[in-house]
Amino acid sequence: MTWITLLTTSSRWQAELMQELLAAHNIPTKIIDLGVKSYLGAGTPAALQVRLQDKWAVLLLLSPYEDEQET
C-alpha cells in the first residue's frame, strides 16, 4: 500500500483534526511526527499521510468551500 504526504503542519493538533475529519468519511490516515516533541505548548510539526487511491477524495474534502457568485 502506497502512502503519500498530503499535508504538513506546524502543530500536531492540526493534523489530528484533519485525521478526525477523514476518519468520519472512512478514509485511513497516518500522522508522522517531523520534529522533536516540545513542551510548554509549543507544538510539534507533523505530516498527514493518506493512501494514494484516496488522494483526490481527500483533496476535495479538505479544499475550501467555494460559494457560487451571481453576476
Question: Does the residue 29 lie in any domain?
Answer: yes
pLDDT in the model for residue 52? 94
Say how many domains are in the chain.
1
Question: Does the residue 32 lie in any domain?
Answer: yes
pLDDT in the model for residue 41? 58
pLDDT in the model for residue 35? 77
Q: Which domain holds residue 24?
A: 3-36+44-54
pLDDT in the model for residue 66? 77
Q: What is the end-to-end Cα distance of the chain in Å, rounded?
A: 46
DSSP H helices, 24-65, are 55-62
pLDDT one digit per residue (tens) for the chain, 71 residues:
899 999 899 888 899 999 999 999 999 999 998 877 666 556 788 999 999 999 999 999 888 877 776 66
